[in-house]
């Protein structure tokens, strides 16, 4: 059973709506990654955090997503204005350190944008 | 830009027969290789991580890395029907961005 908890499991939004998903990393893991897995099993790195700080993010994330990992609260990833191409499985992963030798993934949030 | 490709796209084996999956990468300076699997509707489960040329075994999973030929293989010994899943190869460079670059996976079906 995954110790990285993602909610909700499924999310359905209309185009232009906000879509917010949350992730509780494994206890004691300060490093969090978000990945997008599309229907062709192509993975795209979105953003990563160490503690509350953003380490890296791709342009798309910076322009269209809002993400944070506050202390003592779940991490969140929010698409500000959903597009059909955002339909995908969003995976959160956590690790004890940035080298992510042991990277543990949640079950994902499956987003469908109608 | 690192490229990771997996073959075959799908593989069917009989229960107990060795399953071999292939992953090729483009950057010879990569130093961090993992195999994951994903059961339908689930998250990713790490199977084995390997950082130097040679073999590494974790239970019934053996990873074989040959950096010179840009290949990392996964061998599954005596697979069971419960091993039917999507198997993903992921490569990163610790000295780089720590991002994992994933292949698009091999769908393994183990027939009873």
pLDDT tens digit string along B9-30?
A: 999 999 999 999 999 999 888 8
Looking up tokens 């879509």 gives A19
Distance from the B98 Cα atom to the nearest Cα atom in chain A, whole angstroms = 6
Residue B96 has pLDDT above 90, yes or no: no
Name which of A14, A26, A42, A2 is nearest A111 in CA terms. Answer: A14
Q: How many A/B residue pairs have CB atoms within 8 Å?
A: 58
Distance from the B106 Cα atom to the nearest Cα atom in chain A, whole angstroms = 10
Backbone angles phi, psi at A55, to 5 degrees: -90, -50
Tell me the two tokens of residue A107.
């079950």
A93 touches chain B (CB under 8 A): yes
Name which of B39, B37, B42, B49 is nearest B91 in CA terms. Answer: B49
User: Across the interface, do B94 and A43 touch by the CB < 8 Å criterion?
Assistant: no
Percent above pLDDT 70 for chain A: 96
In contact, B83 and B74? CB cutoff 8 Å: no
Query: Which of B26-30, B90-94, B95-99 is predicted with the least confidence, judged by mean pLDDT?
Result: B95-99
- The whole-number pLDDT of residue B97 equals 60
- The whole-number pLDDT of residue B103 equals 93
Kindly give the pairing relationship between strand A31-37 and strand A19-24.
unpaired
Chain B residues with CB inside 8 Å of A34's CB? none
Distance from the A1 Cα atom to the nearest Cα atom in chain B, whole angstroms = 9
- The whole-number pLDDT of residue B61 equals 97
Residue A108 has pLDDT above 90, yes or no: yes
Name the band, by pLDDT with cuts 50, 70 and 90, for residue B4: very high
Provide the mean pLDDT of chain B: 91
Chain A residues with CB inside 8 Å of B100's CB? 33, 35, 43, 45, 100, 103
Kindly give the pairing relationship between strand B101-102 and strand B45-50.
unpaired
Name the band, by pLDDT with cuts 50, 70 and 90, for residue B95: low
Provide the mean pLDDT of chain A: 91
A59 touches chain B (CB under 8 A): no
């Amino acid at each position: 059973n995954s110790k990285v908890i993602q909610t909700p499991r499924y999310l359905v939004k209309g185009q232009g709506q906000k879509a917010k998903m949350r992730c509780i990393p494994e206890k004691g893991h300060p490093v969090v990654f978000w990945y997008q897995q599309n229907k062709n099993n192509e993975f795209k790195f979105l953003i990563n955090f160490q503690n509350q700080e953003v380490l890296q993010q791709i342009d798309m994330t910076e322009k269209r997503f809002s993400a944070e990992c506050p202390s003592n609260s779940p991490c969140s990833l929010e698409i500000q204005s959903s597009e059909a191409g955002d339909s995908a499985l969003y995976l959160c992963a956590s690790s004890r350190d940035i080298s992510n030798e042991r990277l543990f993934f949640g079950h994902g949030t499956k987003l469908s944008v109608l | 830009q690192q490229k990771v490709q997996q073959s075959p796209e799908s593989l069917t084996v009989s229960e107990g027969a060795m399953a071999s999956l292939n992953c090729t990468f483009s950057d010879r300076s990569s130093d961090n290789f993992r195999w994951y699997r994903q059961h339908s509707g689930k998250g990713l489960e790490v199977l084995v991580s390997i950082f130097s040329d040679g073999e590494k075994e974790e239970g019934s999973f053996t990873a074989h890395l040959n950096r010179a030929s840009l290949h990392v293989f996964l061998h599954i010994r005596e697979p069971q029907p419960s091993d039917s899943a999507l198997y993903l190869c992921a490569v990163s460079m610790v000295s780089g961005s720590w991002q994992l670059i994933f292949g698009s996976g091999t769908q393994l079906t183990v027939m009873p």
